[in-house]
Structure 1
């Protein structure tokens, strides 16, 4: 098991940074870190995303695990890894991106929707898969699909909020990706970074509460 996958399983939350200004990136990262978030995904459809990844990696290398999101082809994967991305996340399944990540020692967590895509991604070498968009599928989908393929680590993204985060984790997701429900663009635009920190603390506390009351299933260690 890769170190980044272990870290993902331990921390449970990936904060997705999408569409914020480069000028606000450091304060946003610091606010999330102050709230207890340790994994950040900078999506490549964000302006100056590669600069963001490189600079955040340099500033927070020993404190945050920085990855690239919305990685949709090999060129994007190359540029993201060159910038210092420690893992790659995609909205889709592209085996070529997985191959490139493997060749360069970088985890790839591709987007999947169906059991066929989940299995294909894992067989191609993905250390975990992103089930997306999860709000179109729901908690029961996670429970049902994990019945026959519970050996494949699954992160869920798209529609996760403070009220349902533990439902997905209890259903068997190893982690969640959180976008606007955590990385609130209005707060960032208004430079209300303490409110980002408070949101992060609420999510982290919610996960800790869930860990305290959940019995770990026998298949939890991959």
Structure 2
């Protein structure tokens, strides 16, 4: 699928959660300017559908817009109607995976155990999100990669500019990055330049780790 290829190339997804629509405009502008290609807004963010529509209108052709925390088919349907180009969830829901495949939308479900990861992959998810990565730790990622090295994993949680290389060295195919991409002061002030600079640091670090 087109966006799975983009994910494997750019190797990161920006996760935006719990911010206001006006802040999301600044966040989207900064992330896109910083070179982020995949931007996700979680469905438990107030106004998530409006934010997705704003981003699709503003950054079409520059960045891809997705929905996160997609817990069921109704959420998935709403997200796709709002313009989501990919779906991410914290769990494995076979109905959500089936819906996404029927719609031709990339779906990267969240899983923790080897059973969940394999089930999601063989149900049709080309990439699986390893979650919660901050709690599981890099050693868990390394162990999982042993028997499941054929399944691309997005490691989500705890990624910083200082440790991003550790995630890739441990076997992550890509990383999901949230609050560390969006400095609070810059977001509050609508400082898109500072957000862009922060995003560019992550983008450059990810590119350097390309195999």
Q: TM-score range by the shorter chain?
A: over 0.9
TM-superposed CA distance for 1:49, in Å, is 0.6
CA distance, structure 2, for counterparts of residue 93 and residue 184 of structure 1: 31
Q: TM-score, normalised by structure 2?
A: 0.95
TM-superposed CA distance for 1:55, in Å, is 2.0
Divergent runs of 4+, >4 A: none
TM-superposed CA distance for 1:195, in Å, is 1.7
CA distance, structure 1, for counterparts of residue 209 and residue 124 of structure 2: 30
Q: 1:179 to 1:92 in 2, by over 3 A?
A: same
Kept in 2, the 8 Å contact 1:20–1:185? The answer is no
Kept in 1, the 8 Å contact 2:10–2:207? The answer is no
2:108 aligned partner: 109
2:8 aligned partner: 9
CA distance, structure 2, for counterparts of residue 55 and residue 210 of structure 1: 31
Q: TM-score, normalised by structure 1?
A: 0.91
2:89 aligned partner: 90
1:194 aligned partner: 193
- Equivalent position SS for 2:22: helix
Q: Which 5+ residue runs of structure 2 have no aligned equivalent?
A: none
CA distance, structure 2, for counterparts of residue 82 and residue 19 of structure 1: 21
1:179 and 2:178 equivalent?
yes
CA distance, structure 2, for counterparts of residue 202 and residue 134 of structure 1: 21
- Equivalent position SS for 1:181: helix
1:151 and 2:129 equivalent?
no
TM-superposed CA distance for 1:174, in Å, is 1.1
**Number of residues paired by the alignment?**
211
Q: 1:185 to 1:92 in 2, by over 3 A?
A: farther
Q: Which 5+ residue runs of structure 1 have no aligned equivalent?
A: 217-222
Deviation string 1:149-188 (CA, Å, 9 cap, x unpaired) is 1111100101111111111112221110100011234421
1:132 aligned partner: 131
TM-superposed CA distance for 1:74, in Å, is 0.6
1:34 aligned partner: 33
- Equivalent position SS for 1:159: coil
RMSD (CA atoms): 1.2
